[in-house]
């Protein structure tokens, strides 16, 4: 898998962050990293609504899938029922079905062969506490199943997709993009800064300006963070000026505040290409987009943040977020759509990983690390 294909896919992912209509092109580039036929983004909100975006080669298959096969998708059904995504962030066919079963299962024996498909690699990501997203890469029938190296690549691509979707999903949800990117970013309900190659702020929206003065500020056209130690401050500024690393998805940067015990979470995205369709002049100078997430007051911590800070899988972090916020395991299981036994099994694994033995200790740990960093 040539590195230039990976770099091109990452570049296109971040282009789609700002221009959501480019996601089919980005998904095509993602599939090409593994020399596969196509890729799909499936996202579901906690209100039950969902959406699907596919690369062009997959669209004919997707139409029949949505019309006749969605309820009979063995791999999706089993992954959900058994909670396979709770234990790991990337799964493939061997996690949900045996090769013997594939020969008789209607989804594998009838539907997929009609489109020349067989195997999949799916990475779960969480761009928002209220949204679940699966990036599913599709493989032609003649190729072997995914190996561990390829699954690791899918996981890395999923991290970039998650970061890009933090902005892109909000643009799609609000349908503000129809009025132009500049107007959309100005009105969107999440804090966005655009920085040039020297780290100077060349754009900030109303939501970002509302956060100024509480842990974050703009001084001499540059972002400043009042409660970071000097060494931490220098590292953060370097990340902002370079757009972090294009080829490596980085963890969010936690910024302590004066007015709230919950830190701000900074997500840094590079702008690696500016499409001709974007007429906004600020993008010609911008090299980094900074999204600042202000955690919901009274709500459970962002599972993605718990995953990144505490070293859990995303599924484990979802359980930890709910249970650590006072929700009983049975209610957490119902919220996530998994069996109570599965939730309790995962909770035991979370306890072992974090060195705690009861729910109150988990709550205290999350409070200490996530709310008062």
The domain that holds 107 is classified in CATH as 3.30.450.80
- CA distances (Å), origin 110, targets 58, 61, 65, 143: 17, 12, 12, 18
pLDDT at 99: 92
27-70 tens-digit pLDDT = 999 999 999 999 999 888 877 777 889 999 999 998 899 889 98
Residue 338 has pLDDT above 90, yes or no: no
Instruction: Record the pTM.
Output: 0.87
Say if residue 133 is in the same domain as residue 248: no
Residue-number span of the structural domain to which 313 is assigned = 303-371
3 state DSSP class of 140: strand
pLDDT at 234: 62
- How many domains, the chain? 3
Mean pLDDT score across all residues of the chain: 84
Q: Distance between CA 235 and CA 216 in Å, rounded?
A: 15
- Does residue 298 belong to any structural domain of this protein? no
Q: DSSP assignment, residue 256?
A: -
Q: Predicted confidence band at 271 (pLDDT cuts at 50, 70, 90)?
A: confident
Q: Distance between CA 16 and CA 12 in Å, rounded?
A: 6
Domain end call among 148, 166, 184: 166
284-333 tens-digit pLDDT = 678 888 898 887 655 677 888 899 888 899 989 999 998 988 889 999 88
Residue 218 has pLDDT above 50, yes or no: yes
Other Cβ atoms closer than 10 A to 65: 21
Residue 73 has pLDDT above 70, yes or no: yes
The two three-digit tokens of residue 59, written as one number: 């669209």
The two three-digit tokens of residue 4, written as one number: 């230039």
Query: For position 325, which CATH number holds?
Result: 1.10.10.10
Residue 192 has pLDDT above 60, yes or no: yes
- On whether the CB atoms of residues 135 and 125 are closer than 8 A, the answer is yes
Say if residue 278 is in the same domain as residue 317: no
CB under 8 Å to 123, separation ≥6 — which residues?
89, 90, 134, 135, 154, 155, 157, 158, 161
Task: Tell me what the mean pLDDT of segment 109-121 comes to.
Answer: 95
Phi first, then psi: give them for residue 367, nearest 5 degrees: -60, -45
pLDDT at 348: 93
Domain end call among 293, 317, 346: 293
The two three-digit tokens of residue 191, written as one number: 């804090």
- CA distances (Å), origin 319, targets 103, 114, 122, 307: 35, 38, 20, 11
> Which residues partner with 265 through β-bridges?
254, 293
Highest-pLDDT range among 63-77, 93-107, 229-243 = 93-107
Say if residue 13 is in the same domain as residue 98: yes
């Amino acid at each position: 898998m040539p590195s230039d294909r990976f770099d091109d896919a990452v570049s296109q992912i971040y282009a789609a962050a700002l221009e959501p209509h480019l996601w089919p092109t980005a998904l095509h580039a993602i599939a090409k990293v593994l020399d596969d036929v196509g890729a799909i983004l499936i996202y579901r909100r906690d209100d039950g609504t969902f959406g699907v975006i596919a690369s062009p080669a997959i669209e004919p298959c997707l139409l029949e899938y949505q019309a006749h096969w969605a309820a009979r998708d063995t791999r999706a059904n089993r992954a959900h029922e058994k909670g396979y995504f709770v234990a790991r962030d990337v799964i493939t066919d061997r996690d949900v079905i045996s090769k013997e079963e594939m020969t008789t299962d209607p989804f594998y024996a009838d539907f997929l062969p009609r489109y020349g498909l067989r195997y999949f690699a799916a990475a779960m990501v969480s761009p928002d506490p209220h949204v679940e997203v699966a990036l599913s890469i599709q493989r032609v029938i003649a190729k072997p199943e995914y190996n561990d190296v390829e699954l690791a690549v899918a996981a890395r691509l999923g991290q970039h997709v998650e970061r890009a979707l933090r902005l892109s999903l909000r643009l799609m949800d609000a349908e503000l993009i129809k009025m132009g990117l500049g107007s959309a970013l100005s009105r969107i309900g999440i804090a966005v800064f655009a920085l040039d190659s020297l780290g100077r702020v060349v754009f900030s929206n109303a939501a970002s300006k509302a956060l100024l003065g509480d842990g974050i500020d703009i001084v001499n056209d540059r972002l400043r963070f009042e409660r970071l130690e000097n060494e931490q401050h220098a590292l953060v500024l370097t990340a902002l000026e370079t757009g972090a690393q294009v080829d490596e998805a980085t963890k969010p940067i936690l910024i302590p505040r004066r007015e709230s015990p919950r830190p701000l979470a900074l997500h840094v995205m590079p702008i690696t290409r500016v499409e001709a369709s974007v007429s906004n002049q600020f993008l010609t100078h911008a090299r980094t987009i900074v999204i600042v997430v202000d955690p919901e007051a009274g709500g459970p911590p962002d599972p993605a943040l718990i995953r990144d800070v505490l070293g859990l899988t995303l599924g484990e972090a979802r359980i930890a977020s709910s249970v650590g916020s006072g929700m009983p395991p049975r209610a957490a299981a119902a919220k996530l759509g998994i069996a109570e036994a599965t939730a309790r099994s995962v909770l035991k694994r979370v306890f072992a990983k974090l060195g705690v033995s009861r729910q109150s200790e988990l709550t205290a740990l999350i409070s200490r690390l996530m709310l008062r960093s």
